[in-house]
Amino acid sequence: MPDYSTWSILMLRAELKRRGMRLTGRKADLIERLRALDSMADKSYGIPSMPPPPSLDIPEWPVTSIFKTITSETAPSIPNVSREQLSSYVILRQAQDRLPTADNSAMKKGDLLSKECVLGLSHTQINDQQFFSSTVHAAMKKNTTYAVRFMISNIGEIVFSSCECPAGAGPHCSCKHLCAAILILINLKNTGKLGIKMTCTETLQEFHKPKKSHAGSPIKSQALGGLTEYDEDPRPKKFKELPEENRLSRLANATVNFSHLSGANPSCRYMFPRANLQAAVSDHCYLDKPYTAY
C-alpha cells in the first residue's frame, strides 16, 4: 500500500478522481478514503491496489511580484482567445477528466458571473506563454473568493487552468470561475473595456460635489439675510457701546476669572499680557498675608 501521507492534495484528488470517488474534504479525509479503497480491493475483491499516479504536468508558476494588473491600455498585448476556444477547452477537459463535479453549464454561468464577481485580473508573459491570475467571488457566498490561474499561448490556446473551488480540483479546471475570468479577457479584446467590478475606493466620489458651480464674486454673509441684532452680537446693548479699551479689559478680566475658578486653560488667555507680579506685590505691601495667598 503506498504511503499516501507523502502525497500532495492534488495527487490525492487525482487518484480519487480516477477511481470515481468524491474529492471533497480535508487531506486526512482523502487519505482515509484511499486507504479504505485499497483495503477493500486487497481483502474483498482481490484487485491489486493502484500504483501512485504520475506527477501532474503543472507548469512552474512565476512569482507574484512580476504580475501586472490588466487595464484597457494593455489589451493589445493579450492573445486573441475566443468563446469557441473556451467552450472547446471546457468540453474537452470535462470529457477527458470525467469529473464527478463536472458542470455542463459552466460557460453560461461564467457569463453571468463575469460582470459582477471578477474582482481583479493580472498577467505576465514568459517566452511564448502568458500567465494570468484572477480573483473571483463565489456565486452563493459573497464573503468567499477563489484564486483562478490559467495559461494562454500566443495563438490563443488555453494550456493550463486551476481554481480553488471544489469543481476546479485537478490540474485542468473547467469551472464557471475560470470561464468568468477568461470571458473578461474576451470582452476586453472585443470592446476595449475591462468589465471588472471596481471597489468603492477606485470610483470617483462625487456625492459632495455641487450640482453647478458658482460664477462671479463670493456671496457676502450680509446678503444672505435673516440675521437680527442679537444674532450678530449677543451681548447686552450697554456693553456694545463701551469704548474699545474697556471692552478688551472686560474680556481679559472675564477670561482670567473663568480660568482661575474653573481650572480650565482656554487658549484665549494667552491673548493678553501677563501681570507684573513684582509691581503688584510692591503696590499691595499693606496686606496682612503674602500677595500670592490671595
The answer to whether residues 86 and 161 touch, using CB atoms and an 8 Å cutoff, is no
Instruction: For residue 196, give every residue at least 6 positions away whose Cβ sits within 8 Å of its Cβ, in sequence order, or none.
Output: 118, 119, 120, 121, 184
pLDDT one digit per residue (tens) for the chain, 294 residues: 678 888 888 888 888 888 877 787 888 888 888 888 787 665 544 445 445 444 445 567 787 778 888 877 777 888 888 888 888 888 877 766 655 445 567 878 877 777 678 888 888 888 878 899 888 888 777 678 888 989 898 888 888 888 888 777 666 788 888 888 888 888 888 887 777 766 666 666 667 777 777 777 777 766 766 655 545 666 677 777 777 767 778 778 888 888 888 888 888 778 877 777 788 778 877 888 877 776
Q: How far apart are CA 119 and CA 241, in angstroms?
A: 68
SS3 content of the chain, % helix, strand, coil (to 5): 45, 10, 45
Q: Domain residues of the chain, as ranges?
A: 4-45, 64-191, 234-293
Q: How far apart are CA 161 and CA 173, in angstroms?
A: 5
Q: How far apart are CA 169 and CA 161, in angstroms?
A: 10
Instruction: For residue 285, give every residue at least 6 positions away whose Cβ sits within 8 Å of its Cβ, in sequence order, or none.
Output: none
**Grid coordinates standing for 183?**
470571458
| Greatest distance between any 2 Cα atoms in the chain | 121
The answer to whether residues 183 and 86 touch, using CB atoms and an 8 Å cutoff, is yes
- pTM more than 0.85: no
Measure Cα distances from 221 to 210, 228, 234, 250 in Å.
Answer: 19, 13, 18, 28
**Grid coordinates standing for 50?**
493502484
**Grid coordinates standing for 7?**
502525497
Q: Map 82-131 to HEC letters.
A: CHHHHHHHHHHHHHHHCCCCCCCCHHHHHHHHHHHHEEEEEEEEECCEEE
**Grid coordinates standing for 30?**
482523502
